[in-house]
Amino acid sequence: MLKHDMTKRGAGLKNDHENSVQKEYAHLAQKYDDKWSFYVEATLQKTLKKIELHSGEHLLDIGCGTGALLAAIEKRYPDAVLAGVDPTQEMLDIAGNRLSKKVHIKRSWAERLPFDTETFDVIVFCSVFHYIREPLLALKEVVRVLKPTGRVVITDWCDDYITCQICDLFLRVFNKAHFKTYRKKEFYQLLSSSGFFDDIEINGYKVNWFWGMMTATACKKSNVKR
């Protein structure tokens, strides 16, 4: 295959994947909060525990969905400056109704963040990373928009649990939007080999018999090479 054709094929696969994500969540948006209420509340509380914001600090929630986490952060840290991005307009419409006008929400992807470099103190992902096909590209964007003292908090499904392994295999076959889940060790390796982060910590836990999760925290490396 010619290089040009391969590039076109790569772009086609990416568009296919992005369309699948948007289609899935456009369809789910109105039902999302009710259907996933237990899961969202449980993962939100675990993620919130790892977020520490000082007055006036800037936080970005990537894949903010219907805005449940941002609403909880807004309540806990009324002086923080909050923003959220999500590629699915129908999810953002619900977030827009739920959040105060002070919270900036934009339609965008983790891989292409519409913000200036060194804007945020904290960046959070909650139940989003398993959709990301180009994790290094997304992490590169994350460090670009993080301030030099910035931190990340990433909560996602954890492949160390058998239920998640089954879920991952099933979704890889039957759900075009899904990409992959990670084991703790593998995710640690991804974060450390990127060369972008220090002080990486990952905790695994179950929120019920089915959902095995992990939350990773890390700090942006000083003098990170981009």
Tokens for 49, please give them.
């525990």
User: Measured from the CB of residue 220, what is the shortest distance to ligand SAM in angstroms?
Assistant: 19
128 touching ligand SAM, by CB under 6 A: yes
145 touching ligand SAM, by CB under 6 A: no
Residue 82 or residue 126: which is nearer to ligand SAM going by CB? Answer: 126
Residue 45 or residue 149: which is nearer to ligand SAM going by CB? Answer: 45
109 touching ligand SAM, by CB under 6 A: yes
**Residues composing the chain:** 226
Residue 65 or residue 150: which is nearer to ligand SAM going by CB? Answer: 65
127 touching ligand SAM, by CB under 6 A: yes
216 touching ligand SAM, by CB under 6 A: no
User: Measured from the CB of residue 106, what is the shortest distance to ligand SAM in angstroms?
Assistant: 11
40 touching ligand SAM, by CB under 6 A: yes
Residue 39 or residue 219: which is nearer to ligand SAM going by CB? Answer: 39
Contact 187, 197 (CB under 8 A): no
Q: Rounded to an integer, what is the distance from CA 9 to the centroid of its chain? A: 26
Phi-psi domain of 204 (left: phi exceeds 0; alpha: psi -120 through 50; beta: other): beta
Residue 69 or residue 123: which is nearer to ligand SAM going by CB? Answer: 69
User: Measured from the CB of residue 115, what is the shortest distance to ligand SAM in angstroms?
Assistant: 13
68 touching ligand SAM, by CB under 6 A: yes
Contact 195, 219 (CB under 8 A): no
87 touching ligand SAM, by CB under 6 A: yes
Residue 28 or residue 81: which is nearer to ligand SAM going by CB? Answer: 28
113 touching ligand SAM, by CB under 6 A: no
User: Measured from the CB of residue 103, what is the shortest distance to ligand SAM in angstroms?
Assistant: 14
164 touching ligand SAM, by CB under 6 A: no
DSSP-assigned letters across all residues of the chain: --HHHHHHHHHHHHHHHHHHHHHHHHHHHHHHHHHTHHHHHHHHHHHHHT----TT-EEEEET-TTSHHHHHHHHH-TTSEEEEEES-HHHHHHHHHHS-TTSEEEE-BTTB--S-TT-EEEEEEES-GGG-S-HHHHHHHHHHHEEEEEEEEEEEEBTTSHHHHHHHHHHHHH-TT----B-HHHHHHHHHHTT-EEEEEEEEEESSSS-EEEEEEEEEPTT---
| Residues near ligand SAM, by CB under 6 A | 21, 25, 40, 43, 62-65, 68-69, 86-88, 91, 109-111, 126-128, 131-132
